[in-house]
Chains A and B, each alone.
Chain A
Amino acid sequence: MKILSVSNLNQSFGSRHVLNDISFDIKSGTIVGLVGPNGAGKSTIMKDILGLSDYQSGTITVAGTNTSFQDHRPLKQVGALIEYPGLYPFLTGWDNLKLFATSTANVEKVVSELHMNSYIKKRAGHYSLGMKQKLGIALALVNEPDLVILDEPMNGLDPQSVKDLRDLIKQMAGNGTTFLISSHILSELEKLADDLIVIKQGRIIQHTSMKEMLNRDSHFIILKTSDDRAANSLVVNAGYQVTASQPLTIIESESDEVAKILSLLSENNIEVIDFQHNEGNLEHSLLTVLAEEKV
């Protein structure tokens, strides 16, 4: 089932066209990453979905019902953190949550899941950047929404908090919650997202699964042998593509190549001392996609 559907979204600020025919659907229970360079329009797309910003044309549907700038009743089951957390500094973290929570049990749950117990009864104005960010995330998650929209949620979080958040998002997605997450921290998105939407200058240039995205990247085999020079000429003669000789780096174009290369070396009495297999890397594939695409 589609929980979110955006079609032909167009938006300009004055004469500047910021979103161009943005269309995508999100299936229930998936984690979708929204990536793209600064100013590509990620926050703007999110604001349009949330009825925070008005657009010139396009349709946005949440759980099958149209939602718009003026009428966004379907957003009842949506939680969001956009750009930076909106907090009342004169309220404690607890009161900030209680203000929007439908029950105290919901507040307690999200506070313990994000490990905020030690400071939740202090005023939010005294929080550090990371604590504010966590409170902002907690506000988005507090009522167990069906759809959660997070704009750069990892900003300012320490490694433990990043892991807590990742675990929580995965657990909630397992229970059917859908996530739309923009992030600059690609290594984090790589661990989290099922699907990826890549935008550049207000256009979607790629909407694929994370798996497919990673597969676009070349896989490498990096070898350290008893005789790198002999190994090098051996694999080159056998028709493999070598991209570097020190350390010996070979492009893997088929999945059974590792076995073939290893047996080739051992047949020629070259000992393999160390072996590394480089999987596809989101950063590399993304930069390639962005560079290829001419907008």
Chain B
Amino acid sequence: MMILIRQELFKLFKKHSTWISLIVMMVIQIGFAVMAKIHPDVFNPQETYTTGYYATTLLVFYLIAASSSIITMEFQYGTIKNLLYREYSRGKIIISKWITLLVYSIAWLVWINISSLLIKFILFPKVDLGANLGHGYTVLTSTIVVDLANLLTVWLILSIVILLSNLFKNSAAAISVGIIGSFVTNIMSGMSAQLVIKWPWLKWNPLNMLQYPDQILSPSEIHLTRLTLTQLFSGNLVYIVLILAAGYLVFQHRTV
């Protein structure tokens, strides 16, 4: 299994697109940081810090792209044959891909936090990381907690993307569908709040789970979601496990 994960990381590491995404992200972070420096009234320096200078928004797209291509790519290039005919079972192969994506998402989050801290210290010495944001969080801790909560809800989306990517044999198509899907999801999750008000039992629908990070900093959202933070957390986990399991079963039966 370690060998498979190492192979997956090696491929990600050697892809041009990985390094291009890193450069694009840095350009965007620096761009927003400079804007916040020049127009602090438009781009609040403290808020831009908590969003990683907009890197966290970009990260969602990066992770969707990586998740949709990690399986699709193998079918597109015919390399799935080389992966599958060796001694490893299909189960091990798909699990190694999940773990790789998890490592990849965590590595990005760590990088975003480090780079944001650097930018803050260089450009915004006046932003106070220890400032109290209420509900027991400071600027620094709220950023970290919300990043981790976002990681959880992003994985709910990624598990769906991985499941759906089994339908495609071309990475570009899978990535487009994944990204368009995430926009649609965002729009629908707004509608979801209205539906939950009408039919309370709908509060368990997966779209409602996506509100988890928001509710951490604004506990009053409980009136919209009708779920406690613990319920939202567990709901996300359960959905992720179920959807990944469905993807696992589909992959078990894929032929070449």
Which one of A30-38, A85-93, A169-177, A196-204 contacts B? A85-93
Which one of B78-86, B179-187, B195-203, B225-233 contacts A? B78-86
Contact of A53 among B10, B16, B90, B255 (CB under 8 A): B255
Q: Given A84-B78, A89-B77, answer yes or no on A78-B85 (Cβ-Cβ < 8 Å).
A: yes
Q: Which of A32-79 contact B (CB under 8 A)?
A: 47, 50-54, 70-76, 78
Contacts of A72 in B (CB 8 A): 85, 87, 89
Please tell me if the beta carbons of A90 and B255 are within 8 angstroms of each other in the complex: no
Interface residues of B (CB under 8 A from A): 7, 10-11, 14-16, 74, 77-82, 84-87, 89-90, 252-253, 255-256
Contacts of A262 in B (CB 8 A): none
Contacts of A78 in B (CB 8 A): 85-86
Please tell me if the beta carbons of A52 and B81 are within 8 angstroms of each other in the complex: yes
Q: Report the minimal beta-carbon distance from B150 to chain A, rounded to whole angstroms.
A: 29
Q: Report the minimal beta-carbon distance from A174 to chain B, rounded to whole angstroms.
A: 25
Interchain CA distance A101-B163 in the complex, whole Å: 30
Contacts of B78 in A (CB 8 A): 83-87
Please tell me if the beta carbons of B7 and A99 are within 8 angstroms of each other in the complex: yes
Contact of B14 among A74, A76, A91 (CB under 8 A): A91
- Name B15's closest neighbour in chain A (CB-CB): A90
Contacts of A91 in B (CB 8 A): 11, 14
Q: Given A53-B256, A95-B14, answer yes or no on A86-B89 (Cβ-Cβ < 8 Å).
A: no
Contacts of B77 in A (CB 8 A): 86-89
Contacts of A95 in B (CB 8 A): 10, 14
Does A107 sit within 8 A of B, measured CB to CB?
no
Contact of B90 among A70, A82, A85 (CB under 8 A): A70
Question: 4 nearest interchain CB pairs?
Answer: A86-B78, A50-B85, A86-B79, A76-B87
